[in-house]
Structure 1
Amino acid sequence: MLNVSVKSAESAEAIAPSTPDKFPLLLIGHGTRDDDGRRTFMEFVEAFAAYDTSRPVVPCFLELTEPSIQEGVDRMVAMGYQEMTALPVLLFAARHNKFDVTNELDRARARHPGLKFHYGRHFGVADRLVELWRSRLDELDRQSEIPRDESVLLFVGRGASDPDANGDAYKLARVLWEGSGFKGLELCFSGITHPRLDAGWERAWTWNPKRVVVLPHFLFTGALMKRIHGYSDQARLDRPDVQIQSLPEIGLDPVLFELVKEREQEAIAGQVAMNCELCKFRRAVSRNLLGLGQDDGEAIAPDALASGHHHHDHGHAHGHDHGHHDHDHAHGHNHDHGHSHGHSHGHDHSHGHGHDHGHGHSHDAPDPYATQNDYHEKAWRVP
């Protein structure tokens, strides 16, 4: 296992650039039932708060564990704040980033009228992350006598029900592989979309490698990371003739501190840029406005377009007044896209939430994407 060298928060703090006039920062993790995963996120937030002490930093989670987003916002309000920056600590922009987190912020505004959020973006295909993985791959090479031209890189992503997010995973993997010297690249996901881990390993073996390097593109440890390492352990038993090296998750690396600061500054400045051309929600609304229905042939219900927007109905309609919420999706293009995304940002962002992020939601339900055909049938549908 690679021994990742991580700078202390104290040493990182010495090089932290100051950013005046910042709002308190709400850092939103995905959430996990795994105690190690939850603890790692809380340690990350604590370390980041020590790295930059210029404003309060409060942790919370979207689902599966506490404190919830509502509890995080309540804590900010209790401290006397009515304006804050909210950052999703997520790698790619899928449903959680575009849909579920914003719904929770809207719920908070409904409970605390007058609240204003500057909403930041995910980490995405960031150059800092590319360099982090390149550095770790270089360090891993020093622990092996097998050259890259006899090795396969197996990139493992989380997987999402959003084709745009999955496409970014492929892009990042390809950027890492281009010019790397690895004999081959295979990509798979831990769940939701395909190919899954079994298929990823099967594809890796077809290269007849002498070494397989597993790169799990995950922020923190948790049940999924442990499962990925379990596959690597089994591969070592099945193929003792092949060297299997597994990188750890990103973890508490100063690179994440720097990325959080960048995303925070973007949000405050109203410079949050996202790719909306391939947003499944925007596509669904655009097709309905043209009378085409969703990409799978199923039309969105008429009331879902009542506000001229994609109406992610989470079970409660709450006016997503972007004059107040600020949500700061200036997106570089004001989220109007020239096509208004079906919502004009004065709109009713009627996020609702079929699976109740009152946090009763369970990931233990039957897998609706168990087969590749199951995923293909649902990939472009919106909630």
Structure 2
Amino acid sequence: MTPPALLLVGHGTRDEAGAAAFRSFVAQLGAAQPGLPVGGGFIELSPPPLADAVAALAGAGVRDFAAVPLVLVSAGHAKGDIPAALAREKERHPGTSFAYGRPLGPHPGLLAVLERRVDQALAGADRADATVLLVGRGSTDPDANAEVFKAARLLWEGRGYAGVETAFVSLAEPSVPAGLDRCRRLGARTVVVLPYFLFSGVLPDRVREQAALWAAGQGGEADVRCADVIGAEPELAELVMERYREAVRGDLRMNCDSCVYRVAMPGFEDRVGLPQQPHHHPDDPSHPHGGHTHAHTH
């Protein structure tokens, strides 16, 4: 009996190298899992569209899918856009079923990769003199931003860094320059700017550019080093398979304790109970949303 297909879902990027890294990762997973149908697509910006990935698997006879969102935090894309896209695919392909897995999160395996990236940037320099600035994408969802702070704290614990601070490259504060200012005021000797992203893209590039510009403004007095993104490491592949198995078993364990659609968080009280309105994705060949809403049911 063929197991449910593993369907990797990415947001998409205008950076071709980042999109190629996603496609290569999907291919690697497929090669490493003989007998398991594996596919992947994006909800916008990059080929292949999710609709094409589902159509290819459905055309090969797949009827059951377990979708894993290839995102680090549970923000609007994971909570609304991807579930809405999967609902459209279910309508396009009658008789199919879709289980939905949880985002990757600050898993110990990914923290180990982040630690390696910091070590590579330090190139033998003492960890005790290094402050790490973990830079996330940023979101209008406070729960998603809080997950980045959680990752930063977990990265700090037991690894011997002088400290781990947090910043965001878009939509949330503190910004990259503000985060670097904070590191300087705290007495950081060396700062490793660590992009909290899976693959290369426009935003990780922006993180590096902003860090370099800030360092240049310090007159050469600041030792600022930029680490690489997580990348297609074995730990990432293992975590994706863990999320796949959870989805197949129905063991999702979603965190709803601080979700603004369920809990009256200060400043976001008006969102409680609201239906989600996923934004239009021009690369999806489906009909426009046409005013349909999708309830937040994670």
How does the TM-score come out when normalised to structure 2?
A: 0.87
Matches within 5 A, 1:118-137: 118-137=99-118
Q: Is the counterpart of residue 356 in structure 1 residue 288 in structure 2?
A: no
CA deviation vs aligned residue, 1:301-322 (integer Å, no higher than 9, x gap):
xxxxxxxx6432x3xxxxxxxx
| Contact 2:4–2:63, Cα closer than 8 Å, also in 1 | no
| Residues 129 and 210 (structure 1), Cα distance of their counterparts in 2 relative to 1, 3 Å cut | same
Matches within 5 A, 1:66-85: 66-85=47-66
CA deviation vs aligned residue, 1:187-222 (integer Å, no higher than 9, x gap):
100111111112112212212332111111100000
Following TM superposition, by how much is the alpha carbon of 1:357 offset from its aligned partner in structure 2, in angstroms?
2.0
Number of the residue aligned with 2:199: 220
Q: Is the counterpart of residue 311 in structure 1 residue 275 in structure 2?
A: yes
Q: 2:211 aligns with which of 227, 232, 240?
A: 232
Number of the residue aligned with 2:165: 186
| Residues 236 and 310 (structure 1), Cα distance of their counterparts in 2 relative to 1, 3 Å cut | closer
Following TM superposition, by how much is the alpha carbon of 1:255 offset from its aligned partner in structure 2, in angstroms?
0.8
Following TM superposition, by how much is the alpha carbon of 1:144 offset from its aligned partner in structure 2, in angstroms?
4.1
Structure 2 gaps of 5+ residues are: 285-295
| 1-structure distance, mates of 2:239, 2:64 | 22
| Residues 299 and 144 (structure 1), Cα distance of their counterparts in 2 relative to 1, 3 Å cut | closer
| Contact 2:117–2:229, Cα closer than 8 Å, also in 1 | no
CA deviation vs aligned residue, 1:49-90 (integer Å, no higher than 9, x gap):
122222221120011122222222222221122211111111
Matches within 5 A, 1:235-254: 235-239=214-218, 240-254=220-234
Which of 235-244 and 91-100 deviates more? 235-244
| Residues 225 and 46 (structure 1), Cα distance of their counterparts in 2 relative to 1, 3 Å cut | same
Which of 262-271 and 201-210 deviates more? 201-210
Following TM superposition, by how much is the alpha carbon of 1:251 offset from its aligned partner in structure 2, in angstroms?
0.7
Structure 1 gaps of 5+ residues are: 1-19, 288-293, 301-308, 315-352, 361-381
| 1-structure distance, mates of 2:67, 2:270 | 34
Following TM superposition, by how much is the alpha carbon of 1:111 offset from its aligned partner in structure 2, in angstroms?
2.1
| 2-structure distance, mates of 1:202, 1:236 | 10
Per the alignment, in what secondary structure is the counterpart of residue 40 of structure 2? strand
Corresponding letter in the other structure for 1:357: H
Matches within 5 A, 1:1-383: 22-141=3-122, 143-145=123-125, 147-239=126-218, 240-283=220-263, 296=268, 298=270, 310-312=274-276, 314=277, 353=278, 355-359=279-283
| Residues 296 and 151 (structure 1), Cα distance of their counterparts in 2 relative to 1, 3 Å cut | closer
Structure possessing the higher radius of gyration over alpha carbons: 1
Which of 125-134 and 213-222 deviates more? 125-134
Per the alignment, in what secondary structure is the counterpart of residue 155 of structure 1? strand
What is the percentage of aligned positions where both structures have the same residue? 35
Which of 248-257 and 73-82 deviates more? 73-82
Number of the residue aligned with 2:287: none
Corresponding letter in the other structure for 1:84: F
Per the alignment, in what secondary structure is the counterpart of residue 192 of structure 2? strand
| 1-structure distance, mates of 2:132, 2:244 | 33
| 1-structure distance, mates of 2:121, 2:209 | 19
How does the TM-score come out when normalised to structure 1?
A: 0.69
| 2-structure distance, mates of 1:262, 1:108 | 24
Per the alignment, in what secondary structure is the counterpart of residue 7 of structure 2? strand
| Contact 2:260–2:269, Cα closer than 8 Å, also in 1 | no
| 2-structure distance, mates of 1:54, 1:160 | 38
| Residues 212 and 189 (structure 1), Cα distance of their counterparts in 2 relative to 1, 3 Å cut | same
